Structure 1
Amino acid sequence: MEAGGGGGARHIVLVHGLGHGAWCWYRVVPMLRAAGHRVTALDMAASGAHPARMDEVRSLEDYSRPLLDAVAASPPGQRLVLVGHSLGGLCVALAVERFPRKVAAAVFLAASMPCVSKHMSMFAMLNECFRRSPPDFFVDSEHIVVNTIQGPRTALVLGPKYLAEKLYDQSPQEDLTLATMLVRPCIQFLDDPIMKDDTLLTDGSYGSVKRVFMIAKADSSSDEEMQRWMIDLSPGVEVEEIAGADHMVMCSKPRELCDILLTIASNYE
């Protein structure tokens, strides 16, 4: 999903979260386009309308390939605003580390925001988030076994009750209904070596790019305390707050989200 803007427009790239796709940004894309910006909402591999099968996606890098390719292909001199929602924050972090000079700002929307630390890999951060969550966090979601060329792997199927209670509890009913029709099974890549590499993100690349974390104040999936814990791991990160936003901020508070993104697009060159 791509929308063009006029001359001098900022290019904003939107990355969805676990099990979702470019479709979840449908409220925000036309708002940003109306403000004159170019907008690209991407499907990560085996997500949304992306043609890959889940068993073909071997790693976080494979999953993030649509984003990595899009950033690599951006014209010289054009610096992007990357927006990662939920698990999409890991994809954005990987892209920023690879192409820091192509990114004006990285925005983490109620997202997994890894830090530059030799003691906190992406895996360690997610593991701590899981530890802080209640045992029944995933409600009616189910784990299934997927046969891949690397052997059997576990995938997660997001349940309708989980979607309603944890992700879309402040969003319009239409968006919840859309999600129940479109979400796909997903792998979190917890066994991927890159996830356990605590030297993956560096101060000179990932740490050199402006980062903004947007707190969803009414998030039932990742409460404010957990979001602020991730922020505290990365001193200097700019913080924005969106009151009344559930985890799916782009559905529950699209106008407020758009206004902040427009400010970020104009402030970072």
Structure 2
Amino acid sequence: MGNSLACFSPKIAARSSDSTSPAHRDASPPRPSSSASSTARRAASALPGSTSNKKNKKKMETAASASASAAEAGELCRDALIREQAIAAVMLLKQYQSGGGNENGDSLRLFSRSTSTSALFPSVSGKSGVKQSVPRSSTSRRRSCSDVPLPPLPQVLADEALEADGVETNRFVLVHGGGYGAWCWYKTIALLRQGGFKVDAVDLMGSGIRLTDTNNVNSMAEYVKPLTDIIDKLGDGEKVILVGHDFGGACVSYLMELYPHKIAKAVFLAAAMLKNGQSFLDMFSLQEGPSDLMRQAQIFLYGNGKDQPPTAIELDKARLEDLLFNQSPAKDVALASVSMRPIPFAPILEKLTLSDANYGSIRRFYIETHEDYAIPASLQEAMIKSNPPEKVFHLKGCDHSPFFTKPQALHRFLTEISKIS
């Protein structure tokens, strides 16, 4: 029976050998089968002192170390993101508390070049020393697969150093859309300024931090007065690139007619690009049907009484995210929800006079947003077809607020447009 047991697993034989008689231990053990030898080798490799076990232990330690490094880097990224959001919020709050802009409160005070982008777009390094870009948004909202992760901002700016050199003009004037304010351009301002451009972004009448009652703005000329003040102060031969978003496109067209010799180029960003005799309201006639979402979001205000025509339009805050910010980061949606103002109604109804000699003499460019629910891509394309610009750029996976959703892609397009000769 003892010889029969010895033919089984070597583990059993090793344990049972302690209980056998001395005479039996002296006897030559039977030769194990090849399968038993293989089992024995595997069992031996698992012993603490074996070479194989040392290798496995080393692999496990290496994997554990890599996992810990990844966890630490992830924690650094999360910490940097929280720090980014906190700094941006504090900077915005200080601007509002200070009254913003110049002594007349005409415009939102812009971030200094030394702090703006480093605070808003930080990058962190893991133990390996490789910089990792911090996520732009804490939102879990669906993102387009076309939104390829970009390199850290310092690297981008290093690659585009002195990008404003050699251009016709290095000065941009950013014109916000209806209900927005200069605050919406904060990322674009930071990026352009880091590239060496001069940037102005103003609050139009009744917008942003301007205390003017929107219901009392009765014409386009009155609405764009802060913008004409900037153009009027330009020196002889000095030109600007106007960028208009949404209703700001109509404002840009109005300025193009008034100041053809002071505007080098005009950029329409998901904006109304009107023809002679059209109003902003007329633009929507190019659509097959009104947007249900837009109609549901509109709230008419009657500053002169309900028996009189509406004086302004407010957008329902509960529908803002779906209408204007369906792809935007959560922190920017929060900023917009407390900053949006009503839109004066009279300028929306005003039909513009646009001549070939003035408006038509300025180079126009259009930047189209493909996931836009306020001015849908189909309506943008209808305007482009009706009134063709020099060149069209496309922001795929972008909502109606590209300065929030695709700030770096927008910056690249604006830089490219500035360099077109």
The answer for the alignment partner of 2:303 in structure 1 is 146
Compute the TM-score of the two structures, normalised by the length of structure 2.
0.57
Q: CA deviation at 1:186?
A: 1.5
Q: CA deviation at 1:128?
A: 0.7
Higher normalized helix content (fraction of residues): 2
| Paired-residue identity, % | 32
Q: CA deviation at 1:123?
A: 5.0
- Distance in 2, Cα, partners of 1:242 & 1:86: 15
Gaps of 5+ in 2: 1-107, 114-161
1:2 and 1:40 in contact (8 A); partners too: no
Q: CA deviation at 1:262?
A: 0.9
The answer for the alignment partner of 2:215 in structure 1 is 55
Residue 206 (structure 1) aligned with residue 363 (structure 2): no
- Distance in 1, Cα, partners of 2:280 & 2:391: 24
Structure 1 residues 21 and 191: alpha-carbon distance in aligned structure 2, compared to 1, 3 A threshold: closer
User: Aligned runs of 1:120-139 on 2, under 5 Å?
Assistant: 120-122=277-279, 125-129=282-286, 132-139=289-296
User: Aligned runs of 1:179-190 on 2, under 5 Å?
Assistant: 179-189=336-346
Moved more, 80-89 or 137-146: 137-146
Aligned-CA RMSD value: 2.4
1:216 and 1:249 in contact (8 A); partners too: yes
- Distance in 2, Cα, partners of 1:176 & 1:123: 25
Letter in 2 for 1:60: M
Higher relative contact order (CA 8 A, sep 6+): 1
Residue 45 (structure 1) aligned with residue 202 (structure 2): no
Structure 1 residues 19 and 146: alpha-carbon distance in aligned structure 2, compared to 1, 3 A threshold: same
- Distance in 2, Cα, partners of 1:162 & 1:15: 23
Q: Pick one of 22, 26, 44 that aligns with 2:182.
A: 22
1:16 and 1:88 in contact (8 A); partners too: yes
- Distance in 1, Cα, partners of 2:247 & 2:261: 23
The answer for the alignment partner of 1:221 in structure 2 is 374
Higher normalized strand content (fraction of residues): 1
Letter in 2 for 1:86: D
Structure 1 residues 56 and 190: alpha-carbon distance in aligned structure 2, compared to 1, 3 A threshold: closer
Compute the TM-score of the two structures, normalised by the length of structure 1.
0.88
User: Aligned runs of 1:1-20 on 2, under 5 Å?
Assistant: 1=108, 10-20=170-180
1:138 and 1:162 in contact (8 A); partners too: no
What SS does the aligned partner of 1:121 have? coil
User: Aligned runs of 1:69-88 on 2, under 5 Å?
Assistant: 69-88=229-248
Residue 174 (structure 1) aligned with residue 327 (structure 2): no
Letter in 1 for 2:397: G
What SS does the aligned partner of 2:261 have? helix
Q: Pick one of 288, 300, 317 that aligns with 1:160.
A: 317
Structure 1 residues 111 and 94: alpha-carbon distance in aligned structure 2, compared to 1, 3 A threshold: same
Structure 1 residues 236 and 27: alpha-carbon distance in aligned structure 2, compared to 1, 3 A threshold: closer
The answer for the alignment partner of 1:265 in structure 2 is 418
Gaps of 5+ in 1: none
Larger Rg: 2
1:15 and 1:22 in contact (8 A); partners too: yes
- Distance in 2, Cα, partners of 1:70 & 1:191: 22
What SS does the aligned partner of 1:113 have? coil
- Distance in 2, Cα, partners of 1:47 & 1:124: 19
- Distance in 2, Cα, partners of 1:39 & 1:52: 24
What SS does the aligned partner of 2:172 have? strand
Letter in 1 for 2:322: E
Q: CA deviation at 1:124?
A: 6.2
